[in-house]
Structure 1
């Protein structure tokens, strides 16, 4: 896959003070039962993201790299992998959460450079969320995890929730790390 590195969309990067590197690309699985009663909502998310199953496209077209320029994110403790994230930058910076428009779609790399959609991630910058809310966001009955500044992505503090809506995760639909995903 050919990609070119860019900063987090000019003024957005400056406003965030982020060192996160992003790239724009050129180019159905089993579901676990640990959904906590959200089967219909997860089906709606699968439908909303169905056009992106075989690879990223606008608006989810900005590829995420961590500070070490790693794009396929694996747990350093060996509990699993997230995959390759593509974000919708405008959605990432709007300070809101929309169930059918996650901030990131996550892909598992395949043979010949192919990518398969496996999960979605909801993200909101903590300062933007906290300005209007007394508590962290909750979606699908799950409280978002807070990731502090100084994280591997170079972002300020943010809240996040992974949803394995396309590939089963033996650790649960809303767990960050999936041991069945491979980079």
Structure 2
């Protein structure tokens, strides 16, 4: 009887180790990364909290005439280049019906390593998704890639789409 218990225990341990080896590490799991991003950005539901944490307020509401809006970007320059899900380069706020800014999304911004918009071998990836870009048209930023994650407002265009048709700028 004792021998069966030992064999069963060893078998279960072996099975568990195979399961752990086959599973992605938490740091690489897109769902875990999204949870990390939501937990970190959830601390900034009030724009004044983002400012207190080092994010710089902008007063331009970014929108596209067909695709929708992004909203107001609050940017932390120290987080530009970060691929850590808990350190977005920007938190985005959209105006509600009364004009109050509501947290809607996060954005990750990573400079293009060779600063050549014609090459994309260094395109970063986060949440299992490749970044958009490279972009050359944002004043004050070098050639860069970006990725949005609409964690706080549903986006019919997709969780990682740059614009949200439900975001309207004044």
Q: Check the 8 A contact 2:30/2:127 in 1, yes or no.
A: yes
In the alignment, what sits opposite 2:64? 75
C-alpha displacement of 1:115: 1.2
Q: Distance in 1 between matches of 2:42 and 2:64?
A: 27
In the alignment, what sits opposite 2:73? 85
In the alignment, what sits opposite 1:162? 148
User: Is 1:140 matched up with 2:132?
Assistant: no
User: Is 1:177 matched up with 2:163?
Assistant: yes
C-alpha displacement of 1:127: 3.1
In the alignment, what sits opposite 1:101? 87
In the alignment, what sits opposite 2:43? 51
Structure with bigger gyration radius? 2
Kindly indicate whether structure 1 or structure 2 has the higher relative contact order, using CA contacts under 8 Å at least 6 residues apart.
1
Secondary structure at the counterpart of residue 53 of structure 2 = coil
Q: TM-score, normalised by structure 2?
A: 0.69
Secondary structure at the counterpart of residue 161 of structure 1 = strand
Q: TM-score, normalised by structure 1?
A: 0.65
Q: CA RMSD in A?
A: 2.5
Instruction: Single out whichever of 138-147 and 169-178 deviates more from structure 2.
Output: 138-147
Write out per-residue CA displacement over residues 25-81 of structure 1, whole angstroms, 9 at most, x where no aligned residue. xxxxxxxxxxxx84443233221112211223233531346xxxxx100014x1111
Q: Distance in 2 between matches of 1:83 and 1:166?
A: 12
Instruction: Single out whichever of 112-121 and 169-178 deviates more from structure 2.
Output: 112-121
Closer, same or farther: CA 47–61 of 1 in aligned 2, 3 Å:
same
Q: Distance in 1 between matches of 2:124 and 2:151?
A: 19
Larger fraction in helix:
2
Closer, same or farther: CA 163–128 of 1 in aligned 2, 3 Å:
farther
Give 5+ residue unaligned stretches, structure 1.
1-36, 66-70
